[in-house]
Amino acid sequence: MNCFASPRTLQTLSPQRISMRIALAQMNPTVGDLQGNCQRILELARDASSRKAELLIVPELALCGYPPKDLLLRSGFVEACDEAVSRLAAAVPADLGVLVGHPTTWGQPAECAANAASLLHEGKVVATTCKKLLPNYDVFDERRYFRPADSVKPILFRGRKLGVHICEDAWFGQPDTFYHTRPVCESDPVQDLIEAGAELLINLSASPFEVDKSSRRHSILQAHCQRGNIPCVFVNQVGGNDDLVFDGASLLLNRQGQVVTQLAAFEEDLRVIDFHHDMPTEKLQIASRCEQLLQALILGLKDYAAKSGFREAVLGLSGGIDSAVAACLAAYAFGPENVYTLMMPSRYSTQHSIDDSVLLAKNLGIEAIEIPIDEIHTAYEQAPVITADLSSQPAGLADQNLQARIRGAMVMIRSNRHGWLPLATGNKSELAVGYCTLYGDMAGGFAVLCDVLKRDVYAIASHINQKAGREIIPAHIINKPPSAELAPDQFDQDSLPEYDLLDAILEGLVEQEKSANELSIIYPEETVRWVLNKLDRNEFKRRQMPPGIKLTPRAFGSGRRMPMAARYTHFQPE
């Protein structure tokens, strides 16, 4: 694949001397909304032009949104993107250069597409470069859709050689994940650009959020700056698309890799900078772990709802920590006036759980209606055939799951009637070991906490109160022993290991893919065996859970593809 650049004569400037008025625009596109995304880029271009910017940079695939997935395979979609880029080039202010990410067929063999960045200037598409390294791990599947560039070279703009490259091209050689592999024939695109005389590295990205990923990005970009004695611009997408959330936090670095400018995290931002070699620097700003998780969850939920056409949400309030945190997230994402909750006590519910739920709803300003489920529960118990099944094991597993399913049905009735987004509130710890009920507490349209371990749910709850400077989530919810309250005197730890131990083992098994043998050196072997068996046996449940937000390197969902019907001996001989 031969991507093309402007054939004009190149003028060499030293990296120390380059100066340019640059506009960095981290935008929140909607996947597939070519008209809306183009309109947003045009608005940003007009704003940047009014502020005398020379060059505007928007993220990877900003024109169609990332990730477009199999829309790229739909007949005419990529061609429609090409047409939209041409129309956009004619519409942006003629005095402004715009670097825009988009899929393209330009310069490709028949039936092939590329992940590209084009320079729009003076009414035309004057140069296009294509992504060379196509990620094919975790949630990324770009080799399914795109053909990689054979080579990369700088783009000339107003006498400057711009080292334009796209997202993964900057991550060459990084052992970012245990499943991150590359063909041995691939070379380093950034090094190629430096050797070709690039004076400014520009990375257009759609880099999904993971906790503390900002520091890893900075380290990688800093290394490129230092080895090439060259400044770098990193412009990242922001917003939620399906299970991914993008944190923005775009950067402008000097040739030593020091931060000159950092854009806001988790919100759209446009920054116009007079870049030159001796600009003052600042410290990289990274929020606390809890604040990162909180902002990612709010943004992911808000955008999933808005881009799917939901303005209101409904969920069950149990008086427990998970539904309390989920209710807070919903109130922040939708506005408290748009959140509706149901308190559905059973014969085993405690009064303090109802009282805690009422107080939480009052603190948040959300609606909470009490609908006891005992009458419905009793009706099931009296049904022919079912009577024998339930009475043979009172308060047993079938009976406990029945209560959860009654509650799930109540939530879904309100969702169907009013068009509200129903939220499932289960956390990653419970989903991992199957401590959840299909068509019960797993019922819903979005599983907002599905990638949050129980220990982080508690940490986020405390952070919400601390950040608010008052008690939003009642202290009793945070401090009391967790319980599903589906049987007499029931507590989670009657069925599960202590959450601190469970979460540590799950982190090793799921997020680090450590072996059972390795973990048994650290933790009790019997507990490791139990957790691993539950993890594998409950894959069928997770396959049926609603979508949620990816926050960790290994979230349940599209990035973790485990078989359901499988057998494997986990404890191998030494």
> Of the candidates 435, 476, 471, 467, which has an alpha carbon nearest to the alpha carbon of residue 453?
435
According to DSSP, residue 556 is labeled: S
Does residue 539 carry a catalytic annotation? no
Write down the residue that tokens 């739909």 correspond to.
74
Q: What are 407's two structure tokens?
A: 């509650």
Structure tokens at 489: 């005197």
Instruction: List the catalytic residue out of 3, 38, 54, 60.
Output: 60
Q: How far from chain centre, in Å, is Cα 303?
A: 11
| Per-position b or e across 386-421, b if 16+ CB within 10 A of its CB | eeeebeeeeeeeebbbbbbbbbbebbbebbeeeebb
Q: How far is CA 92 from the centre of its chain?
A: 31
* Sheet arrangement for strand 200-205: 155-157, 160-166, 200-205, 232-236, 251-253, 259-262
SS (H, E, C) 118-172: EEEECCEEEEEEECCCCCCCCCCCHHHCCCCCCCCCCEEECCEEEEEEEHHHHHC
Tokens linked to 308: 């799917």
| Residue for token pair 């922040």 | 332
Cα dihedral 537, 543, 547, 548, rounded to 10, equals 20
Which of 130, 167, 232, 436 does the annotation list as catalytic?
167
Annotated catalytic, 60?
Answer: yes
DSSP of 106-119, one letter per residue?
TTPPTT--EEEEEE
Which of 38, 130, 131, 550 is catalytic? The answer is 131
Residue 23 host element (H or E): strand 20-26
Q: What angle do CA 101, 102, 106 make, to 5 degrees?
A: 120
Please confirm, yes or no, whether 131 is among the known catalytic residues: yes
Tell how far CA 317 is from the center of its chain: 25
* Nearest Cα to Cα of residue 400 among 348, 474, 464: 348
| Residue numbers annotated as active site | 60, 131, 167
